[in-house]
Structure formats: C-alpha cells, structure tokens
Amino acid sequence: MKPWKNMLLSLTVSVGLFASSVPALAATPAASAPDTSIQVNGKAIDYSHGEAIVKKGTTLVPVRLTVEALGGKLQDVKNGTVRIVVNGKTVTLKEKAQLIGGVSFIPVRSLAETAGYDVRWDRQTHTVLLVSKATGEAARGFLWEVKNGPTTVYLVGSMHIADDSFYPLRDEFEKAFAEADYLGVEIDVSKAADEAQQKMVLEMGSYTDGTTLKDHISAQTYKELGELLKANGLKADAFDQFKPWVVETTIGSLQTSEAGYEAEAGIDLHFIQQAVKNKIPVLELETYESQLGMFNGLSDELQERNLKAAIEGFDTVVDSTDEMAEMWKSGDEKALLEMTTAIAADPEYYKALLVDRNVGMADKIDGYLKSGKAEEYFIVVGAAHYLGNEGVLKLLEDKGYTISRK
C-alpha cells in the first residue's frame, strides 16, 4: 500500500515549516548501497571507477563520468564547488561535491536536473533512470476559474514542496496571476522562520510535563524509530522531547529535502514571492496556529499510527514524492482524486486534514466572490483540497457557482 498519508501532507499543509523549528541534528553517513546503477535514456553508465553509492537515501555519482554521460563537460571542481558546461553554458551546481577515494561525488539529482534530465527510480532493479526532459513543455498543474458578476477567482492546486523541474509554469498561471488584485494562500509561508512561529511549534509540539516521546508511544514504535534514526546518522533519542506529529513530519522532510524537494520551491511560495515583489496583498485563508493546532489535536492513537506509517514508508518517500510530482506536472485529476480519497479510510485524519478545513476555505472563497467588485483573486492552496464530494470545488458548486478548468 502506498504511503498516502505522508504524500498528502505535501498537498495539504506546509509541512516543510516544521523542520525549521526543530533543532539541527548532527548526522553521519549511513551505509552505502553499491548495487545502485544509473541509466541515461535507457543506457547504463559504465563507470570505470567510483561506482554510484548511497548515503542517507541520497544517490551520489562520480561527477566527471556522469556529466559526460549526460552530454556535458566538467569545467572544474574547486573546494567542492562544481561547474559544468551544458549546451555551451557554464553552470555552477547548488550542491557541493564530496571527495571519496580521490573521486568527486555529487547527488545525482542535482547534476541531472541541472543538465536537463528528469530523475526517476526503478525500485525493482535498484536503478536511477535519467530521462531527457521534453523541451518547451510546461507543467500542466491544477488551475480552475470561478466567476460571479464582476468578480473572478482563480483556484490553484499547490504542491507545497517542489524542485526546479516544476518551472516555468504554464502561461495560463502567470497571466492569471498578473491580473490578480489579491493572492490568497493557506498561510503566508514566507513568515515561517519568524521567531514567534518557531516558538509556537516548540510550545505546541514539545512535551512540557516531564514526559518524553517514549512515554506516549508503544515500545515497538519507539524501537523502530530509534533504529531508523541511527541508520541515518542520528541519535536514537534525538526527538524525545517532541510529540509524534512533529517527529512524523520532520523525518519525512529528511528524505524529500535531500532528494531536492524543498518548501522554497513550492508553488505557493513561488507566488508569495512574486506578490511581495509586485506589492500584491497576501490573504491567509487559515492561520499558522490553526494548522499546527490541527496536528496537535489529533488523538494519541492517530498520531502514533501516522508516525508508524512514516517510519515504514521512509525508504519510499522519495519515490512516492516523485510520483506525486509527476501527477502534479501532468495535471492528472484522476490520480489526484485517488490520493485524496484514499485518506478517507481513516475518518479522524480525513476530517481533520481535509473535510473541516475545506469548509473554511470554501466559505472564505465564497466571501471573495460575493464582494460585488471588479476584482480578481488568485487562490493557491494544497491540491488535495479541491476534488471529491467534500472538496472545495464541490462545496462551491453547491453554493451555485460554475467552475471551469484552465
């Protein structure tokens, strides 16, 4: 069964925010996986030295041989900074190289995406597949339009973590945003690093009664968590002060961030940054406190179930996020609906994560539509909020609005 719960967080709440409030933890390399192979457009790279290795879930490859296999050229490596030549242009990689056995290694995703390749994973053959990106084809994503008299609302389904392959967005997104008088988001994630927000996470997500995580989850779950943390270079008790919902969201971010998916590249933050630059008012449909409160209000039993799911699905988080990214970029409503409705199997989680929040969002959007003014609103919330019988689109249709996909 796919780890739907962990995947859906990237479509429903800004989970990347929690990691910024959890103390940094020193990590050491995990064991390598020498059987990982790399293919470029279906052809395996024959490394004469320095085979691909895996550390903490990240596949590292020899820089020179890999960039040449991708049709590029290594310019130089100085103090870990890698410069390559792609299509006649010199580009500096964001990731630093590591010197292993006298060979410079770099995360394969960083190198491949810079060279213009999509990165996929074949779990059965333990192979990283690098596939040339189609040129000139922008991601479809999710965009709908609702009108009421002189007022127009554009509804965008966001993926809260993303990478450079999501951009540039289709012209329809940028044109609609260019005409917007207001940007609406779940919460303004650009404020996530504020001291007050970090304090709120620590106050709500930490135990203050003298107990620790070990006292609130089963011995088996605590053991499995400790083993996972140690396998990834952390201390087994690294998260003892935090409640299960904080631990769950944080360990998920360990994998996705190393795979290149970051909140900084999320669709909502992309438009927030543009709104600030263009001095467009940013409206929040929810509050930071309400999102944290939703997690903090989950029953102890559900928090442990979610934590167990995160532990069990840890090794497949990147694969699942890759799958979700492809779903978003292709604009596949069927796949989105499948992901969304799958969570209904857990009634408490479904109600808290989607149903209750969808009602609040739909009511806010209804209010914008009833302004009676010739204004345009550009609303960006997690894609999972829109579809299904209890989704935002259906709730707006029940209020009498006609919605068209763009």
What is the pLDDT, as a whole number, of residue 7? 53
* pLDDT tens-digit series, residues 128-175: 888 876 544 678 999 999 999 999 999 999 998 887 778 888 889 989
Q: Which residue has the higher pLDDT, 364 or 114?
A: 364
Element (H, E) at 144: strand 142-148
* Residue 90, phi then psi, degrees to nearest 5: -90, 125
Element (H, E) at 284: strand 282-284
**In this structure, are strands 53-55 and 58-62 parallel, antiparallel, or unpaired?**
antiparallel
Question: Residue 345 CB: number of other CB atoms within 10 A?
Answer: 11
* pLDDT tens-digit series, residues 187-237: 887 776 567 777 888 889 999 999 999 999 999 999 999 999 998 888 999
**Rounded average pLDDT over 395-405:** 97
pLDDT band per the 50, 70, 90 thresholds, residue 48: low
What is the pLDDT, as a whole number, of residue 275? 93
Question: pTM here?
Answer: 0.71
What is the pLDDT, as a whole number, of residue 240? 95
**Domain ranges across the chain:** 4-25+138-405, 37-125
DSSP state of 360: H
What is the pLDDT, as a whole number, of residue 263? 75
To 10 degrees, what angle do helices 244-258 and 4-12 make? 80
- Token pair listed for 182: 């207001």
pLDDT band per the 50, 70, 90 thresholds, residue 243: very high
* pLDDT tens-digit series, residues 28-47: 333 334 468 888 887 888 88
Residue-by-residue DSSP string for 315-358 = GGHHHHHHHHHHHHHHT-HHHHHHHHHHGGGSHHHHIIIIIHHH
What is the pLDDT, as a whole number, of residue 252? 74
**Rounded average pLDDT over 79-87:** 90
- Whether residue 168 has a cis bond before it, omega within 30° of 0: yes
b/e 131-155 (16+ beta carbons within 10 angstroms → b): eeeeeeebbbbbbbbbebeebbbbb
Q: Is the pLDDT of residue 12 over 70?
A: no
* Residue 139, phi then psi, degrees to nearest 5: -60, 140
Q: Is 328 exposed, middle or buried (0-12, 13-18, 19+ CB in 10 A)?
A: buried
Q: Is the pLDDT of residue 101 over 80?
A: no
To 10 degrees, what angle do helices 244-258 and 195-205 make? 130
Q: Which runs of E-coded beta strand occur in 1-124?
A: 37-40, 43-44, 53-55, 58-62, 73-78, 81-86, 89-96, 98-100, 103-107, 117-122
What is the pLDDT, as a whole number, of residue 10? 64
Residue 392: which of 351, 360, 362 has the closest Cα?
A: 362
Percentage of the chain surpassing pLDDT 90?
47
Contacts of 277 by beta carbon, 8 Å cutoff, 6+ apart: none
Contacts of 231 by beta carbon, 8 Å cutoff, 6+ apart: 30, 31
Question: Residue 12 CB: number of other CB atoms within 10 A?
Answer: 24
Average pLDDT, the chain: 85
Q: Is the pLDDT of residue 4 over 70?
A: no
